[in-house]
Amino acid sequence: MKLFVGLGNPGGKYAQNRHNIGFMAVDRIAEDHGFTPWRAKFQGEVSEGRLGSEKILLLKPATFMNLSGQSVGEAARFHKIDSTDICVFHDEIDLAPGRLKTKSGGGHAGHNGLRSIHQHLGPHYDRVRMGVGHPGHKDAVPGYVLKDFAKADEVWLDDMLRGISDGAAALAAGDDARFLNAVSLRLNPPRSGGGTKGKPAVAAQAAEAPKPPVKQASGSEPTSPQPDERDDRSALQKLADRFR
């Protein structure tokens, strides 16, 4: 079993805060992948299901952000889940809005939710860092992350959450590259170019290729093709050639 943790603060007052983007991520995974209804356990809410071949426990700590480690630690101990099988989804002010990165181990960079998890489990767990941007000054950070996302953020936020859900099975399997690619395809979908693609393009090029010249006999005018080599054109091609 693996443990996916979304960080945030409980209650409707905080539901749309930037700080709650971790809750939003695991909510989307649970909804899209048919997980069980959320229920109270481990000082939080849990939901269970499968992503690919992996059994996954989703957790939203209800201890408030600064004490997230209490809930995560309790769930990990109960299910005997090693910290290396835990992945935490959290807001990241050091990434621009709409940017996302994964990370294994390392420091908490001052994030209070991660700081608490460090205290209970140590640093050896995985993270999905979900960019929400920086207010520009350190003193403004608490108020910034505890405010709702702006209206202008709705499009990229929905795309990011959809991408996380798309790539969740890859993340559970430890394939970060495929997970990140799934998110990227939602945030930066390939543009549809003009013209044709694949085989139709080859066919179009072939139709426009110049026809080979009729061979000439040495020192004479161009010779007419003999009947047996003249026309292997179809009736449709002959008709088309008449109107060129």
Residue 237 forms part of a structural domain: no
CATH number for the domain spanning 125: value is 3.40.50.1470
Residue 131 forms part of a structural domain: yes
**Do the beta carbons of residue 42 and residue 59 sit within 8 Å?**
yes
Q: Write down the pLDDT at residue 192.
A: 73
Percent of the chain's residues with pLDDT above 90: 76
* pLDDT > 50? residue 65: yes
Buried b or exposed e, range 45-79, using 16+ CB within 10 angstroms: bbbebebeebebbbbbbbbbbebbbbbbbbbbeee
Average pLDDT over residues 211-216: 41
* pLDDT > 60? residue 207: no
- Count other Cβ atoms within 10 Å, centred on residue 169: 20
Residue 125's pLDDT band, with cuts at 50, 70 and 90, is very high
Residue 11's region, left for phi above 0, alpha for psi from -120 to 50, else beta, is: left
Place of tokens 């205290």: 119
* pLDDT > 90? residue 178: yes
Residue 239's pLDDT band, with cuts at 50, 70 and 90, is low
Q: Write down the pLDDT at residue 240.
A: 52
Active-site annotation holds for 79: no
Residue 95 forms part of a structural domain: yes
Place of tokens 């700081």: 115
Q: Which residues contact 165 (CB under 8 A, 6 or more apart)?
A: 28, 29, 32, 33
Q: Write down the pLDDT at residue 166.
A: 98
Using one digit for the tens of pLDDT, what is the confidence trace for 15-51?
999 999 999 999 999 999 999 999 999 999 999 999 9
* pLDDT > 80? residue 232: no
Residue 193's pLDDT band, with cuts at 50, 70 and 90, is low
Residue 196 forms part of a structural domain: no
Structural tokens at position 51:
């992503």
Residue 161 forms part of a structural domain: yes
Q: Which of the residues 19, 33, 111, 134 is marked catalytic?
A: 19
Residue 239 forms part of a structural domain: no
What would the DSSP string read from start to end of 23-79? HHHHHHHHHHTTPPPPEEETTEEEEEEEETTEEEEEEEE-S-GGGHHHHHHHHHHHH
Total domains, the chain: 1
Q: Write down the pLDDT at residue 190.
A: 87
Average pLDDT over residues 120-145: 96
Residue 223 forms part of a structural domain: no
Pick 165 or 200 by higher pLDDT: 165
* pLDDT > 90? residue 222: no
Residue 81 forms part of a structural domain: yes
Domain containing 166: what range? 2-187
* pLDDT > 60? residue 220: no
